Chain A
Amino acid sequence: MNNVAIKVLVVDDELDFLETIVKRLERRGFLAIGVSSGRAALDYLESHSVDVVILDVRMPGIDGIDVLKEIVTKWPTTQVILLTGHGSIEAGMKGLELGAYDYVLKPAKLEDIIKKINQAYERKLILEKE
């Protein structure tokens, strides 16, 4: 799959992690954008089209679950992969029930994240065709 076209928005309040993952995804051919809060993510989505959102669950202000709810309602074809540093079945279950594509525990291998981004993008294309 050609990664160039896939636009990925990474949302995490841990700036070191954010910068690193954005840089790595860019190197792998994705169009990656990083924002550090839920509010900033929603503002960005209002004016830009995004294929996949990598979303940290626990953030100050609007948390990942609330951002997910808004994305699912306003941009139903945009796929969300939740990312969390704490393993919580409840958060994972809730995320999936609310419409997240997947749930990943930190630290996750870059290869695993890329694989999930590609699968999520594939799902977005299927949804757009319907």
Chain B
Amino acid sequence: MNENSYLKRNRQISQKSHLKNYRNLELPPSFLFVWIGVSSTLLAILGSSCFHSGISIVFIFGLLISNLLSLYGIYSSLRFLQEQQRQINEHLAQSHKLSALGEIVTGIAHEINNPLAIIYQEVQWIQHCLSSDNPDSINEIKDSIQEVSRQVQRCRDVTHKLLEFARKRKPVTQPANLNEIIEEMVKLVEFTTVTSSPEETIKIERFYDENLPLIALDVPLIKQVILNLLINAVQAMEGKGGVIKVTTRYDGKNSVEFSVIDTGCGIPPENIDKIFLPFFTTKAPGQGTGLGLSLSYTIVHSMGGTIEVESSIGKGSQFTVRLPLKTKG
């Protein structure tokens, strides 16, 4: 069996039984060269010690050949193992993609099914009202139609966001002051977090780096990211109050970063890897589509930046966005 057909066979095995069978991989045929090489070397050494110098030249030549065979065997084996590693990585990536796709499909189904269920119930109620002689039926029907209209709007919002997510707008950058942009969004959020109950108060503290240079940004897109992070921070502390810290920092070289840190409920470790997936949400039905963070992720990456999260259950979360001074694209 040559190496290609060997790899093909291993690929077929692994496709059938997924990742588990990688533990039982067979050794490649090139290991035969290593075996021949090592055996020949041993024989050559043994031979040269048994015979005298006149004959040992033959054995030295044998030694050279056997070492070359060994080297070729080692080289081929390494290449083979590299190919195996590449295949394992491919399968892992594919496995992650399938898992993510499953989450997305579940999310879409959830977001669309809930309003559909309400619409279905309202339509049934309208049918019931139409067949009754109750004089109040007309008001009931009006209410139901209004509810149907609201739910249709909800579905439209979901599909709109989905399209927006798929559209991947190319950023249009212009020099902007990130501190000013963040402050505007903070004020907008502060305006709506005022509460009469002191224990539910959410305080926003600012720690702006005054030396932040102007940065090439797509202003409306970065505002969406900031607003999303602030809304999430507020929602993580809803009902119990707390503090949101907003910071900006210039690394003095080629990037700036901003963080939104809350003292909210935190993100469970099993959800950390999923939070940037589209439609992944832990919010109650109707409270969010689960597209905010995935959109933010897409936006930040489209501007050549990164977004990271650190979280601790019951203590809070920190989202950090890092942006290059000179934006790509």
Residues of A within 8 A of B (CB): 87-89, 92-93, 96-103, 105, 119, 122-123, 126-127, 130
Q: Is chain B's binding surface mostly helix, strand, loop or mixed?
A: helix
Spell out B's residues near A (CB within 8 Å).
Answer: 160-161, 164, 172-174, 176, 187-189, 191-192, 219-220, 223-224, 227-228, 231, 295
Contacts of A122 in B (CB 8 A): 174
- Measured in the bound complex, the distance between the Cα atoms of B124 and A54 in whole Å is 44
Bound together, the chains give a CA A48 to CA B174 distance in angstroms of: 26
Within 8 Å CB of B191, what residues of A? 87, 105
Beyond the given A92-B227, A105-B191, please list 6 additional residue pairs across the A-B interface where CB-CB is below 8 A. Answer: A93-B228, A93-B231, A97-B161, A99-B220, A123-B172, A123-B174
CA distance A130 to B219 in the complex (A): 17
Residues of B within 8 A of A92 (CB): 188, 227
- Most chain A CB within 10 A, of B188, B220, B224, is at B220
Set A87, A88, A96, A105: member contacting B220, Cβ < 8 A: A96
Instruction: Tell me which of B161, B187, B219 contacts A102 (CB under 8 A).
Output: B219
Give the residue name and chain of the B residue nearest to A122 (CB): B174
Q: Are B174 and A101 in contact (CB under 8 A)?
A: no
CA distance A65 to B82 in the complex (A): 55
Residues of B within 8 A of A87 (CB): 188, 191-192
- Determine the chain B residues whose CB is within 8 A of the CB of A100 once the complex forms: 220
Contact present for A96 and B192 (CB under 8 Å):
no
5 smallest beta-carbon distances between A and B, as pairs: A87-B191, A96-B224, A96-B220, A126-B172, A89-B192
A5 to B257, CA, bound (A): 36
Nearest B residue to A79 via CB reads: B220
In the bound complex, how far is the Cα of B185 from the Cα of A92, in angstroms? Answer: 10
Selected A-B contacts with CB under 8 Å, 29 pairs: A87-B188, A87-B192, A89-B188, A89-B192, A92-B188, A92-B227, A93-B227, A96-B220, A96-B223, A96-B224, A97-B161, A97-B164, A97-B295, A98-B160, A100-B220, A101-B219, A101-B220, A102-B219, A102-B220, A103-B188, A103-B223, A105-B187, A119-B176, A122-B174, A123-B219, A126-B172, A126-B173, A126-B174, A127-B172
